[in-house]
Amino acid sequence: MKIQDGTGTGNEVKIDSNKRMHTQAVTETESQHAAEVGDAYNISTGQIAFTGNGTLLYIKNNDERDIVVEAISIGTDGGGTYTSSLRPFVTIVRNPTAGDLITDATDAPDNVNRNFGSTKTLTADAYKGKQGGTLTGGDSLGIFQTSQAGRDYFEINMVIPKGSSIAITATNGLSSGTVNIYCAAIVFLKDTASSN
C-alpha cells in the first residue's frame, strides 16, 4: 500500500520527503475527556464534626461502566487537641460489608457533575459518614496521613466496577475538642469505547 502526500487538499495528511506523516492532535487525560462529555463527578461530605474517630464517605457503583476514583481530598479546620504521637489519618477500604456508614444511608450532600452544562447524574450510592460511625468487612487498601489543619489531596486512581464499593474512615487522634473534616472524591466513568 502506498501512502501519498495530500498536502493542500484539506482532508488528507502531509507526508514529507523522509516519509514522515504530519498530524496535529489535541491530547487530554481520561478525566478531562469524561468531564467534557458529562461523565465526571465530585462527591463531597461537607464538614463533619468529630470528637473522636468515625467514618467519612461510602461509594457503591451501580452503573454498568467502571467508576475511576481519581483522587480524594481531605480538609480539616485545625480544631481540637491531638495527642503528641498521633496525627489524623484516613483509611481506604475496598468492598466493606456492614456498618452504619452503609445502613444509615445518609446521602452525601454534594454529588455533582463537573460539566456545568450536563444534566447527567452518577448511578451510585454515595453516603456521608459521621462521628463514631462504624464500618466492617472488606479489605484495607491503604492509610493516608493527613494534616491537622488544611487540605490534602491524594491521587489514588482506583477502579470500582459495578457492584463494588469504596469507603473512607477517619482516625483522628484527638485528646480533646472538636475537629471539622470534609472528604471529597473526584471520580469519572470509564469510557468503554476507548478501552476496547
Any domain includes 160: yes
51 in Cβ contact with 121 (< 8 Å): no
The number of beta carbons lying within 10 Å of the beta carbon of residue 192 is: 10
pLDDT digits 0-9 by tens, 128-179:
999 999 999 999 999 999 988 899 999 999 999 999 999 999 999 889 999 9
Domain range enclosing 160: 40-189
Q: How far is CA 185 from the centre of its chain?
A: 3
The reported pTM is 0.86
Any domain includes 14: no
CATH number at residue 82: 2.60.120.380
